[in-house]
């Protein structure tokens, strides 16, 4: 199962996995990935970008990968935000019914309710929150995901991503004067 999962991830990123095996000598797996240039302006953040966050915000992190969720929580809490975690879209909707959040950071590929369906539900139930959702995705090459991200114009981070990019995007969304704080569900 591990090799199958690895192959799927590599192929989603436009790569390939090849196998070279010799009886009695061993097996070699080679992963080949395309080189993607960094976007213009990428690299080290400026002093203004590293500035302190705009203020403590309530952020809901939704990811079924526990390790990634923990990294996101640690980074966001380090910036002074209050962070809650849900492991899938269904759990996230349940939390949104009980508590208000200023920002949502969600994976797109999850069990039960995926990120795309979650976005549609948030858009229907909490329309003011739909412009404060950041997606984290490992399958940006998937045509359906590309179409969804283009249609919704939702900000996203492609895995793997730099934590500085996460901080800049969160800061940008919470600093937007057109994005009022949410104080009640």
3-state secondary structure of 27: strand
State the sign of the Cα–Cα–Cα–Cα dihedral 66, 70, 71, 75: positive
Read off the tokens for 112: 């039960």
- Across all residues in the chain, what is the average pLDDT? 81
**Cα–Cα dist 111/90, whole Å:** 9
Residues 30-89: tens digit of each pLDDT: 888 877 655 544 455 444 444 444 578 999 999 988 988 999 999 999 989 999 999 999
**Cα–Cα dist 125/96, whole Å:** 10
Residues 18-30: tens digit of each pLDDT: 888 889 888 888 8
Q: Which structural domains are found in the chain, ordered by start?
A: 58-175 (3.40.50.2300)
User: Taking the CB of residue 149, how many other CB atoms lie within 10 A of it?
Assistant: 20
What is the share, in percent, of the chain residues with pLDDT greater than 70?
A: 81
**Cα–Cα dist 182/133, whole Å:** 14
Residues in the chain: 185
Residues 80-97: tens digit of each pLDDT: 999 999 999 999 999 999
């Amino acid at each position: 199962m591990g090799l199958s999962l690895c192959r799927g991830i590599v192929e989603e990123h436009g790569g390939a996995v090849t196998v070279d095996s010799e009886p009695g000598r061993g097996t070699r797996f080679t992963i080949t990935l395309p080189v993607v240039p960094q976007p213009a302006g990428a690299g080290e953040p400026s002093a203004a970008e590293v500035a302190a966050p705009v203020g403590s915000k309530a952020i809901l992190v939704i990811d079924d990968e526990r390790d990634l969720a923990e990294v996101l929580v640690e980074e966001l809490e380090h910036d002074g935000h209050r962070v809650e975690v849900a492991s899938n879209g269904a759990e996230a909707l349940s939390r949104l019914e009980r508590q208000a959040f200023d920002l949502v950071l969600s994976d797109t590929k999850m069990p039960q309710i995926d990120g795309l369906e979650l976005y549609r539900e948030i858009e229907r139930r909490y329309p003011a929150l739909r412009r404060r959702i950041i997606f984290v995705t490992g399958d940006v090459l998937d045509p359906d995901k590309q179409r969804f991200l283009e249609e919704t114009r939702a900000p996203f981070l492609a895995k793997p991503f730099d934590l500085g990019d996460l901080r800049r995007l969160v800061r940008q969304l919470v600093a937007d004067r057109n994005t009022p704080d949410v104080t009640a569900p």
